[in-house]
């Protein structure tokens, strides 16, 4: 007994120091971490983001599309010859232009696609909730399993201490002649076996702890304390109430219904290919051109003036030779400095001195007539897809009733089992305590004491297993309903 109290005092003083170096993890924290790190949940969030982008794109199809352009170019000042005729300017030419084009198109498929994208977003939202509900159930199951293995390991540690006391007592009794060496050997064997059982229990607890953090999707710390403790309470919800709640909140069922809505929208879109579509287009723009030689237009004008004046003088000579009156204004044909400056100013257009181009506006109505039965094939395919989606909803709802009914029945059975085992464990504990007292005073043999300890170990282990089976059954029922129930 002195050794037992020494061990208890040692554990009591070492406990706070160990707690300071050990991380703690509650069930709620484990669930939150899993929702943030689980690849399954993160993938569902990516799918939801894609659905949101698709919905935005579907709404954007109602808006007109607009395209703008701005360009510039340089043409070398060199003439080109076609059939012996020279074309083009001898000065380098700078060009710039801009344009704006607006178009829109509206059809029955555009409107149906919006509804389909909205249903797809609802389906992805519910799929995300379903995955979060699934990972929540998985974490609860594994958290309880890890706690169950830790409770088993703690039980085995207490039994190691108990068998150690039994061994010490057997040796003490053998020392005074009230026990045989066979009792000592049996106590040593029982102590060794109990140490092996404790070692295996601790290894199982460590393995389940690692699996818990694997489910959470984060690295496992060296030491962690699972702090959440949930009491075993009698379930009060009825099956019909749970089924009704599940039909309204189970995310898997809601996602399947959204898929039906999406399939119906896709069918409407396929049928919309038989209806006309309306299109609109408008465009406007401008261009600018400038010769790099600032006097190019002036030189062209001067050449034109010189040619006009030469023609005028030639005509005047012919008229005078024919006895007609001459042309007195030929000398007045000249390019003034003011006109030359205007030509230079008119050349300074690059890059933004645009001259507007004629704008254009068009409205069109398109009615498809025949496309080789492709529309019929699409309508038939979407009809079958819609029917399959409706059958999946029906299958989910049938499975829902079965899952909830069976999970509820299992939960009630586990609750009754826990209550029965609590009484059984108390009786086994009292029997063990009585056997220890009787063995201490010599009224029982070591075999009787070991049998009582074995009965207590089995009863306590069964109670631990039944208690955590109850919590896992509760988690399975919550997973079937689609929301927490406590």
Note whether 274 and 368 are within 8 A (CB). yes
DSSP 8-state symbol, 372? T
Q: What is the pLDDT of residues 424-468, one digit of tens each?
A: 999 999 998 998 888 888 787 888 888 888 999 999 999 999 999
CA 429 to chain centre: 51
Mutual angle of helices 251-271 and 239-249, in 10-degree steps: 40
Residue 180 sits at φ, ψ, to 5 deg, of -95, 165
- Cis? peptide before 351, omega within 30° of 0: yes
Structurally, the chain folds into a number of domains equal to 2
Can you tell me the distance from the alpha carbon of 206 to that of 249, in angstroms, rounded to the nearest whole number?
36
pLDDT of residue 12: 37
Domain match, 45 and 126 both: yes
Global model pTM greater than 0.95: no
Q: Rounded to whole angstroms, how far apart are CA atoms 127 and 253?
A: 9
What is the rounded average pLDDT of the residues 154-179?
A: 87
Element holding 247 (H helix, E strand): helix 239-249
Residue 278 and residue 107 in contact, taking contact as beta carbons nearer than 8 Å: yes
Mean pLDDT over 279-297 rounds to 91
| Residue carrying the six token digits 């826990």 | 418
Of 366, 401, 418, the domain-final residue:
366
Q: What is the pLDDT of residue 22?
A: 64
| Rounded Cα gap, residues 153 and 80, in angstroms | 98
* Gap between the terminal Cα atoms of the chain: 44
Mean predicted confidence (pLDDT) in 30-46: 95
The reply to whether 286 and 425 lie within a common domain is no
**pLDDT score, position 264:** 93
- 421 has pLDDT over 90: yes
- The pLDDT of residue 423 is 94
pLDDT in tens, 299-320: 889 889 989 989 998 988 888 8
What is the residue range of 415's domain?
30-60+108-273+372-481
Domain shared by 439 and 336, yes or no? no
Kindly give the pairing relationship between strand 224-226 and strand 85-87: unpaired
> 340 and 402, same structural domain?
no
Q: Give the percent of the chain with pLDDT over 70.
A: 95
- Give 332's pLDDT tier (boundaries 50, 70, 90): confident
407 and 265 inside one domain: yes
Residues 125 and 213 in one domain: yes
CA distance linking residue 99 with residue 110, whole number of Å: 28
Across residues 330-344, what is the average pLDDT? 87
Alpha carbons 135 and 38: distance in angstroms, whole number: 8
Averaged pLDDT for residues 357-372: 91
């Amino acid at each position: 007994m002195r050794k037992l109290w020494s061990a208890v005092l040692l554990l009591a003083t070492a406990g706070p120091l160990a707690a300071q170096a050990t991380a703690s993890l509650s069930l709620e924290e484990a669930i939150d971490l899993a929702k943030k790190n689980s690849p399954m949940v993160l993938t569902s969030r990516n799918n939801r983001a894609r659905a949101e982008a698709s919905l935005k794109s579907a709404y954007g199809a109602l808006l007109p599309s607009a395209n703008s352009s701005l360009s510039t170019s340089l043409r070398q000042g060199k003439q080109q010859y076609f059939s012996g005729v020279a074309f083009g300017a001898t000065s380098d030419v700078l060009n710039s232009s801009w344009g704006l084009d607006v178009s829109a198109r509206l059809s029955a498929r555009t409107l149906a696609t919006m509804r389909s994208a909205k249903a797809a977003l609802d389906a992805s939202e519910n799929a995300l909730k379903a995955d979060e509900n699934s990972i929540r159930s998985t974490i609860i199951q594994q958290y309880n399993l890890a706690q169950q293995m830790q409770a088993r390991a703690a039980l085995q540690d207490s039994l190691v201490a108990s068998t150690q006391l039994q061994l010490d007592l057997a040796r003490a009794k053998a020392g005074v002649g009230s026990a045989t060496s066979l009792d000592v050997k049996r106590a040593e064997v029982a102590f060794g076996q109990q140490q092996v059982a404790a070692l295996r229990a601790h290894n199982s607890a460590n393995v389940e702890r690692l699996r818990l953090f694997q489910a959470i999707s984060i690295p496992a710390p060296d030491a962690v304390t699972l702090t959440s403790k949930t009491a075993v309470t009698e379930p009060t919800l009825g099956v019909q109430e749970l089924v009704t709640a599940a039909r309204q909140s189970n995310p898997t069922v809601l996602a399947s219904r959204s898929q039906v809505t999406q399939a119906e929208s896709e069918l409407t879109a396929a049928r919309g290919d038989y209806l006309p579509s309306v299109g609109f287009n408008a465009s406007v723009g401008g261009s600018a051109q400038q010769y790099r030689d600032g006097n190019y237009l002036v030189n062209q004008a001067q050449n034109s003036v010189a040619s006009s004046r030469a023609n005028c003088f030639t005509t005047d000579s012919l008229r005078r030779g024919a006895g007609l009156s001459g042309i007195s204004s030929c000398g007045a044909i000249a390019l003034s400095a003011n006109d030359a400056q205007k030509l230079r100013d008119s050349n300074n257009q690059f890059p933004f001195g645009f001259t507007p181009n004629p704008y254009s506006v068009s409205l069109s109505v398109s009615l498809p007539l025949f496309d080789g039965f492709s529309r019929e094939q699409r309508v038939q395919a979407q009809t079958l897809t819609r029917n399959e989606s409706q059958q999946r909803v029906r299958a989910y709802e049938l499975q829902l009733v079965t899952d909830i009914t069976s999970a509820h029945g299992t939960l009630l059975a586990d609750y009754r089992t826990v209550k029965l085992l609590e009484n059984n464990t108390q009786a086994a504990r009292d029997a063990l305590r009585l056997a220890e007292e009787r063995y201490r005073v010599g009224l029982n043999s070591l075999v009787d004491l070991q049998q009582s300890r074995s009965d207590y170990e089995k009863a306590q282990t069964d109670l631990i297993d039944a208690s955590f089976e109850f919590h896992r059954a509760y988690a399975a029922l919550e997973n079937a309903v689609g929301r927490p129930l406590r």
